């Protein structure tokens, strides 16, 4: 707590009369996120204070620079949502480095909103995809060259496969044994990525500014209208194919179960799937190329599969990337993605 207060003081001068509460928010897998409430004799101010995971984001200055470019662009357009404003520290820097070498940033707290880790109904699936669709449409007029990827090769699937194979080579027998069914499935489906990788290499998928992580917990919904109010977690903004983001929406908004639920029954909603497509295309359809549109179904499968690979890679590596709550958490997340993928295969065969 004292540590957090010291960090907080680098952003806001705290008077003795202030009453400060710091409440952890545990929705994300990567950063440490704290809600800060400052009570100044009945006058409340709230902020979000975050420790950026430095083993994942090696250049936070670059990441925050991209975020600022995007924010300014959105503020100068007719973007209908709130912008996730960064609050600089008292030295006018975008982040504070603590004595451990960790980076902290502060953002505006978006009040009267809620966040969910699982889509609640059909209309929320549509609303989430539409909110992102509007976000992308405003960024179509910003050059992707201005944005540098905060995690290099994030959407390089060849690298994801290599990371997976390396993890397999170094994993303990016990972990490999536990994951054997999932590994079997993954090894038999690696071919699924080939055509996507080829299309990327041939530049058939145009580079656009993507969010990189449009999962449901990265949107804040209005408490009363239930409409999107703010797109958050802009740490993975990068130039890449928008099919990645579409695929991640399918992954997140069509899954009726929690991301770590291993039961295969009733995991997927075809109706939500249609809602995601309609919402995604609502503001992007005029700009997307025929090749992009033809690959939407395929992108859903590919991104769910890639996420299964990422989770199992982390499981094999000893859980060093995603936060876990219990020992087999990453394995259960992998199983969930595989169950979802099996359902997406069925949709494809129907079409």
Question: Taking CB under 6 A as the rule, does residue 190 contact ligand ADP?
Answer: no
Distance from C-alpha of 94 to C-alpha of 77, rounded to nearest angstrom: 23
CB of 286 vs ligand ADP, minimal distance in Å: 30
Question: In terms of Cα–Cα distance, which of 87, 65, 68 is closest to 10?
Answer: 87
Question: Taking CB under 6 A as the rule, does residue 56 contact ligand GN1?
Answer: yes
Distance from C-alpha of 343 to C-alpha of 350, rounded to nearest angstrom: 11
Question: In terms of Cα–Cα distance, which of 216, 213, 195 is closest to 155?
Answer: 213
In the complex with Mg ion, the residue whose CB is nearer, 192 or 306, is 306
In this structure, are strands 86-87 and 96-97 parallel, antiparallel, or unpaired? unpaired
Q: Tokens 């405003």 belong to which residue?
A: 138
CB of 325 vs Mg ion, minimal distance in Å: 16
Question: Taking CB under 6 A as the rule, does residue 28 contact ligand GN1?
Answer: yes
Residue 185 has which token pair? 């499935």
Instruction: Choose the contact partner of 48 out of Mg ion, ligand ADP, ligand GN1, none; CB within 5 to 8 A by kind.
Output: ligand ADP
Question: Taking CB under 6 A as the rule, does residue 218 contact ligand GN1?
Answer: yes
Question: Taking CB under 6 A as the rule, does residue 213 contact ligand GN1?
Answer: yes
Distance from C-alpha of 202 to C-alpha of 198, rounded to nearest angstrom: 6
Q: In this structure, are residues 130 and 69 in contact, taking their beta carbons and an 8 Å threshold?
A: no
Instruction: Choose the contact partner of 56 out of ligand ADP, ligand GN1, Mg ion, none; CB within 5 to 8 A by kind.
Output: ligand GN1
Distance from C-alpha of 116 to C-alpha of 197, rounded to nearest angstrom: 32
- By Cβ distance, which residue is nearest to ligand ADP? 28
Q: In this structure, are residues 310 and 160 in contact, taking their beta carbons and an 8 Å threshold?
A: yes
Dmax (CA) for the chain in angstroms is 65
In the complex with ligand GN1, the residue whose CB is nearer, 163 or 213, is 213
Distance from C-alpha of 241 to C-alpha of 339, rounded to nearest angstrom: 25
Figure out which of the listed residues 8, 11, 29, 208 binds ligand GN1, where binding follows CB under 6 A. 29
CB of 194 vs ligand ADP, minimal distance in Å: 30
Question: Taking CB under 6 A as the rule, does residue 25 contact ligand ADP?
Answer: yes
Which region, judged by CB under 5 A, interacts with Mg ion, from 163-171, 225-233, 286-294, 312-320?
A: 225-233
Figure out which of the listed residues 124, 131, 200, 236 binds ligand GN1, where binding follows CB under 6 A. 236
Residue 308 has which token pair? 């299964």
Figure out which of the listed residues 7, 8, 33, 142 binds ligand ADP, where binding follows CB under 6 A. 33
Which region, judged by CB under 6 A, interacts with ligand ADP, from 28-36, 37-45, 300-308, 334-342?
A: 28-36
Question: Taking CB under 5 A as the rule, does residue 218 contact Mg ion?
Answer: yes
Within 8-37, which residues bind Mg ion (CB under 5 A)? 28
Distance from C-alpha of 22 to C-alpha of 73, rounded to nearest angstrom: 32
Q: Tokens 């065969």 belong to which residue?
A: 349
Distance from C-alpha of 307 to C-alpha of 171, rounded to nearest angstrom: 19
Binding interface with ligand ADP (CB under 6 A): 25, 27-31, 33, 48, 84, 107-110, 115, 217-218, 220, 232-233, 235
Binding interface with ligand GN1 (CB under 6 A): 28-30, 56, 213, 215, 218, 233, 236, 259, 307
């Amino acid at each position: 707590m004292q540590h957090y207060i010291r960090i907080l003081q680098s952003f806001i001068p705290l008077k003795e009369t202030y009453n400060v509460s710091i409440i952890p928010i545990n929705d994300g897998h990567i950063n440490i996120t704290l809600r800060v409430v400052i009570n100044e004799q009945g006058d409340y101010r709230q902020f979000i204070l975050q420790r950026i995971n430095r083993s994942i984001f090696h250049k936070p200055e670059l990441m925050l620079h991209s975020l600022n470019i995007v924010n300014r662009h959105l503020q100068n357009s007719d973007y209908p949502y709130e912008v996730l404003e960064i609050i600089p520290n008292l030295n006018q820097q975008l982040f504070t480095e603590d004595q451990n070498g960790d980076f902290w940033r502060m953002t505006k707290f978006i009040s009267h909103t809620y966040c969910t880790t699982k889509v609640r109904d059909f209309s929320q699936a549509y609303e989430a995809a539409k909110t992102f669709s509007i976000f992308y449409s405003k960024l179509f007029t910003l050059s992707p060259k201005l944005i540098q990827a905060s995690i290099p090769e994030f959407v390089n699937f060849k690298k994801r496969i290599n990371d997976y194979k390396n993890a397999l080579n170094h994993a303990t027998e016990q972990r490999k044994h536990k994951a054997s069914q999932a590994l079997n499935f993954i090894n038999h489906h690696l071919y699924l990525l080939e055509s996507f990788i080829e299309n990327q290499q041939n530049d058939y998928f145009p580079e656009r500014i993507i969010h990189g992580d449009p999962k449901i917990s990265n949107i804040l919904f209005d408490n009363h209208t239930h409409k999107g109010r703010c797109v958050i977690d802009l740490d993975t903004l990068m130039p890449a194919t928008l099919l990645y983001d579409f695929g991640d929406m399918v992954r997140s908004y069509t899954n009726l179960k929690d991301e770590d639920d291993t039961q295969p029954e009733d995991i997927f909603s075809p109706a939500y799937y249609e809602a995601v497509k309609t919402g995604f295309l609502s503001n992007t359809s005029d700009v997307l190329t025929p090749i992009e549109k033809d690959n939407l179904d395929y992108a859903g499968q590919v991104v769910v599969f890639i996420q299964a690979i990422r989770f199992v890679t982390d499981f094999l590596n000893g859980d060093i990337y995603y936060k876990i709550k219990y020992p087999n958490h990453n394995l259960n997340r992998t199983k969930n993605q595989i169950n979802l993928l099996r359902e997406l295969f069925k949709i494809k065969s129907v079409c």
